[in-house]
Structures are given as structure tokens and as C-alpha cells.
């Protein structure tokens, strides 16, 4: 009886480890959400403060006569704000050309102030992207901490309006900026996998028939000969538990959407899965070790 109790405890320990692994792998990292853009409004397309470079205001209440609110300024913003846009009208041009022939490559970046973060020029953290003619591009405004307010957000460029029109007016340049999508990260969500995990303790044990095709009855088989059969059954149960838990987590489809930035590396869920898998592995090893020692006795 003691032998059977030890085997039951070992199996229960392995099941608990498998359940823990399933729960740890069911939580995913921060997700990405799309912000509603309702522009461009009348004052969105304008010149930078230098009076020369083109820009598109997304949210700007600080520029008198060019107030713009084409996005809701309140919400939950985390990790970064990304803007995917398409520029047209540049043709094959990809640089400003000075009177002496000097060329300055076109670039675009997000400037403004969100929460405690402010950036008005390209930096190592808020990098500019090279504009190599007409096409679609993505720029990011990085956030050091989650924020709940956008104070100012501008799609800024160094494209010289006077290179395209003597009036210097953005509308006369023939260049257009179309906002395709604006996204931000959200504070981590719990998307626990609700798929059922089979409890191996409720499964029927399978005993291999004895030689000759006749299965011995409990009264015909001494208790000492039950150890190998029970050991095989418990070992199979432990292995089945780990395999079923892994399969359930694979079919659970934990995903996190990251369509604009494509950044999915180093997700917290990956680290949790590794810890849980190691924990389950130790449980299986411990159970097999106990069975081996008892069998030798």
C-alpha cells in the first residue's frame, strides 16, 4: 500500500507541474491597438517653425491659427506611438538641393510631447526615416513610461516647400501626406487560455496482457509483481501530461498583434514558458527517480 501511495503522490506532483506550466504560458505581453484618426483637418498641412519645411499636424493646440485635433488626446499610450503614412508628389526627388548644389536627404520623424516625453528633433531614441521618393513609411515616437495624454504630435519633415513652389504654401507644392494607421502599445493584458486540459488522473490505466493473450486477474498476480506494470503506467501518465499540456498551449494561439513595428522579440510570455517547462521537467525527472529506486528495492 505504501508503494501505491508513493506512486500516486509522484503522479499528482507531475500533474501540478503541468498545470502550472499551462497557466504561465497563457499570459501574453503588451498588445498593440489602433488609434482613430479623423484628419486631415483644414489646418493640418502646414510649415514647420522654420517657415520652410513641410509638416502634418496630428494633434497641435499650441500653434495659433493652426490648431489641430485629428486624434483623441486622452487614452492609454505605452511603449511608443507609431504612424504609418504615404507621401506622394515627390516624384523621383529624395533630397533638398541648395543653390550650390549641396544635397540634403529627405527625412521624416514624429515630434511633439506625450506624457513626460518631449522630442522636437530626430534623436537616437526617436529616429528619423529616410524619404526616398514617393512611398509608404513608418515613424515612431518612443515613450519612456506609459502616458494618458497627448499634448502635441506632428509628422515632421525637412522637405523644403520652396523647392516645389515659389509661394511656399504646402497646398501649392503638389505633395500630399496620407495617414494610413496610428497605433500604440497597451499595458499588458491577461489573455488566459481557457481551453480544457485533460486530467490524466481520470484516464483509464492500460495493463499489457500477460504471455498467451490472457490478462491475469488481481487474485492471480502477487502484489510484488504489480510494481513494473504500475511504474510503466505512471511513467506513461507523466509523459502524457507534459505532452498534452504542451499541445494545448500550442493550440491556444497566444498571439500578440504587432503589424506596424513587427517587434515581437523578448516577450515576457517566452521567458515564463521556459521557466514552466523546466519546472515540469524536474517534476517528471523526480517521479521517474522515485520509481527507479523503489524498483531496485
Where is the domain boundary, 134, 166, 185?
185
Provide φ and ψ at 177, rounded to 5°: -120, 125
Based on the fold, state whether residues 181 and 68 are members of the same structural domain. Answer: yes
**Lookup result for grid cell 501649392:** 172
Give the pLDDT confidence score for residue 5 in this predicted structure. Answer: 54
Count of helices and strands (H, E) across the chain: 3, 13
> Mean pLDDT for the chain?
72
Answer whether residue 90 is part of any domain: yes
Provide φ and ψ at 49, rounded to 5°: -60, -20
Based on the fold, state whether residues 217 and 90 are members of the same structural domain. Answer: no
Based on the fold, state whether residues 142 and 18 are members of the same structural domain. Answer: no
pLDDT digits (tens, 9 = 90+) for 110-123: 999 999 999 999 99
Based on the fold, state whether residues 252 and 282 are members of the same structural domain. Answer: yes
Based on the fold, state whether residues 40 and 174 are members of the same structural domain. Answer: yes
Where is the domain boundary, 166, 185, 204?
185
Answer whether residue 241 is part of any domain: yes
Q: Which domain holds residue 176?
A: 32-185
Name 74's bridge partners: 149
Answer whether residue 191 is part of any domain: no
Q: Which mean pLDDT values do the consecutive 10-residue runs of the chain (297 residues) have?
A: 51 50 44 93 94 97 89 96 97 92 96 96 93 97 96 97 96 97 75 44 46 47 47 46 46 36 38 49 52 51
Based on the fold, state whether residues 82 and 222 are members of the same structural domain. Answer: no
How far apart (Å, rounded) are the C-alpha atoms in residues 3 and 18?
23
Cβ atoms of residues 86 and 136 within 8 Å: yes
**Lookup result for grid cell 500550442:** 250
pLDDT digits (tens, 9 = 90+) for 155-176: 999 999 999 999 999 999 999 9
Based on the fold, state whether residues 23 and 62 are members of the same structural domain. Answer: no
User: In total, how many domains does the chain have?
Assistant: 2
Based on the fold, state whether residues 156 and 239 are members of the same structural domain. Answer: no
Which residues does 148 contact at the CB level (< 8 Å), separation at least 6?
A: 74, 75, 76, 77, 115
Answer whether residue 87 is part of any domain: yes
Q: How many CB atoms lie within 10 A of CB 14?
A: 27
Alpha carbon of 153 to those of 82, 142, 150, 281: distances in Å? 11, 12, 7, 50
- Nearest-CA neighbor of 106 among 163, 154, 55, 159? 159
Based on the fold, state whether residues 125 and 145 are members of the same structural domain. Answer: yes
Answer whether residue 200 is part of any domain: no
Give the pLDDT confidence score for residue 124 in this predicted structure. Answer: 87
Bridge-based pairing state of the strands 95-97 and 129-130: unpaired
CB neighbour class for 296 (10 Å; exposed up to 12, middle 13-18, buried from 19): exposed
Cβ atoms of residues 10 and 234 within 8 Å: yes
Where is the domain boundary, 185, 201, 226?
185
CA angle 176, 180, 181 (to 5 degrees): 140
Answer whether residue 265 is part of any domain: yes
Based on the fold, state whether residues 168 and 217 are members of the same structural domain. Answer: no
Cβ atoms of residues 144 and 117 within 8 Å: yes
Based on the fold, state whether residues 143 and 65 are members of the same structural domain. Answer: yes
Answer whether residue 194 is part of any domain: no
Query: Cell digits for 118?
Result: 518631449
Answer whether residue 206 is part of any domain: no
Which residues does 91 contact at the CB level (< 8 Å), separation at least 6?
A: 133, 134
Based on the fold, state whether residues 158 and 53 are members of the same structural domain. Answer: yes
Amino acid at each position: 500500500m505504501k508503494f501505491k501511495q508513493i506512486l500516486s503522490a509522484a503522479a499528482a506532483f507531475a500533474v501540478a507541474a503541468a498545470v502550472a506550466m499551462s497557466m504561465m504560458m497563457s499570459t501574453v505581453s503588451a498588445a498593440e491597438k489602433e488609434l482613430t484618426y479623423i484628419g486631415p483637418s483644414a489646418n493640418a498641412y502646414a510649415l514647420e517653425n522654420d517657415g520652410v519645411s513641410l509638416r502634418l499636424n496630428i494633434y497641435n493646440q499650441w500653434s495659433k491659427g493652426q490648431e489641430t485635433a485629428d486624434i483623441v488626446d486622452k487614452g492609454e499610450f505605452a511603449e511608443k506611438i507609431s504612424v504609418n503614412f504615404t507621401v506622394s508628389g515627390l516624384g523621383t526627388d529624395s533630397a533638398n538641393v541648395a543653390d550650390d548644389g549641396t544635397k540634403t536627404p529627405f527625412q521624416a520623424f514624429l515630434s511633439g510631447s506625450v506624457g513626460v516625453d518631449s522630442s522636437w528633433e530626430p534623436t537616437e531614441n526617436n529616429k528619423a526615416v529616410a524619404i526616398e521618393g514617393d512611398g509608404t513609411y513608418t515613424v515612431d515616437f518612443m515613450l519612456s513610461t506609459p502616458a494618458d495624454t497627448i499634448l502635441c504630435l506632428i509628422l515632421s519633415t525637412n522637405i523644403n516647400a520652396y523647392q516645389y513652389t515659389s509661394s511656399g504654401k504646402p497646398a501649392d507644392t503638389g505633395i500630399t501626406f496620407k495617414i494610413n494607421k496610428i497605433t500604440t502599445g497597451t499595458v499588458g493584458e491577461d489573455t488566459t487560455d481557457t481551453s480544457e486540459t485533460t486530467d490524466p488522473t481520470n484516464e483509464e490505466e492500460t495493463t499489457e496482457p500477460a504471455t498467451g493473450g490472457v490478462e491475469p486477474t488481481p487474485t492471480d498476480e502477487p502484489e510484488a509483481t504489480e510494481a513494473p506494470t504500475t511504474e510503466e503506467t505512471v511513467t506513461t501518465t507523466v509523459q502524457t501530461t507534459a505532452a498534452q499540456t504542451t499541445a494545448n498551449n500550442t493550440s491556444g494561439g497566444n498571439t500578440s498583434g504587432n503589424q506596424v513595428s513587427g517587434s515581437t522579440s523578448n516577450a515576457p510570455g517566452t521567458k515564463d514558458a521556459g521557466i514552466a517547462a523546466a519546472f515540469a521537467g524536474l517534476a517528471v525527472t523526480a517521479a521517474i527517480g522515485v520509481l527507479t529506486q523503489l524498483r531496485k528495492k
